[in-house]
Amino acid sequence: MSLPESAFSPAVVEDTTPREVFDDAGAGPLEVLIGSQTRRLRISAGLSVSEMATVTGISKSMLSKIENAQTSCSLATLSKLAAALDVPVTSLFRGDKTQRESVFTRAGTGAEIVGRGTRSGHHYELLGALRGQHRRLEAVVVTLREKTTSTPRFQHPGTELLHMLEGEMVYGHDNSEYTLQAGDSLLLDGEGVHGPIALTRLPIRFLAVTAYPDNYSE
């Protein structure tokens, strides 16, 4: 008795496994990290999944897959997520265990630094500086105790915040002049020439915080 030819042919089994199962199984540490960071940053920004979908143009189902590490993100998708969350793309790769820098300076222990106004009797006390890969934030307390004939002028990239602690002075920025007293603040573009013009009530103390731009180096 002869068997039918089909008996010797390999059986063809249709793959009915849902594709998402393969995506889940292929999720690695990077997908898990991106998913957890995306969820954490979205919640911190006060955005629901629906709102995030509207802002990014990514469907809610896809956002759910991303946050649950069920899919890998393209660079274009990562860019959309970062833009919606107002963070650098690299923030989506940073784990919760990444060490964050901080600087504590006890009163009166800040390092004395030599600045352009030192010869004019200005005293600069460095309260701390955060120097990341791309940005630097620097805080200095400036003390002026004597009137001088010279008035130093400054110009630098970035943004600077002045907050008066004591005394009164006239401070110039570009073509404008401001009378600053204790409690007053002045936020200025560092590219504009700036500095004290008149020291009207001594002693004068103010906090100067400067945020330098990307990749700035002195």
**Residue 125: what pLDDT?**
87
Looking at the chain, the domain(s) classified CATH 1.10.260.40 span: 17-93
Looking at the chain, the domain(s) classified CATH 2.60.120.10 span: 111-212
Q: What is the pLDDT of residues 51-106, one digit of tens each?
A: 999 999 999 999 999 999 998 889 899 999 999 988 888 888 876 555 666 777 88
User: What rounded mean pLDDT belongs to the chain?
Assistant: 81
Say yes or no: domain 17-93 is CATH 1.10.645.10: no
Mean pLDDT of 21-42: 74
Reading the block at residue 110, the tokens are 């800040």
Q: Is 201 helix (H, G, I), strand (E, B) or coil?
A: strand
How many CA atoms does the CB half-sphere of 8 hold within 13 Å? 4
AA identity, residue 85: L
Name the DSSP letter for residue 9: S
Cβ 211 vs Cβ 140: under 8 Å? no
| CATH top class, domain 111-212 | mainly beta
**pLDDT classification of 8: cutoffs 50, 70, 90:** very low
Q: Cis peptide leading into 203, omega within 30 of 0?
A: yes
Which residue pairs, CB below 8 angstroms and at least 24 apart, start in 72-79?
72/23, 72/26, 72/27, 72/30, 72/31, 73/31, 73/34, 78/34
CA dihedral 113→118→121→124, nearest 10 degrees, is: -30
Residue 160 has pLDDT above 60, yes or no: yes
| The residue to which tokens 């911190």 are assigned | 44
| The residue to which tokens 């002075």 are assigned | 169
CA separation for the pair 191, 9 (Å, rounded): 79
User: What separation in angstroms does the CA of 11 have from each of 2, 3, 5, 148?
Assistant: 19, 16, 12, 97
Q: Is 164 helix (H, G, I), strand (E, B) or coil?
A: strand
* Rg (the chain; Cα; Å): 29
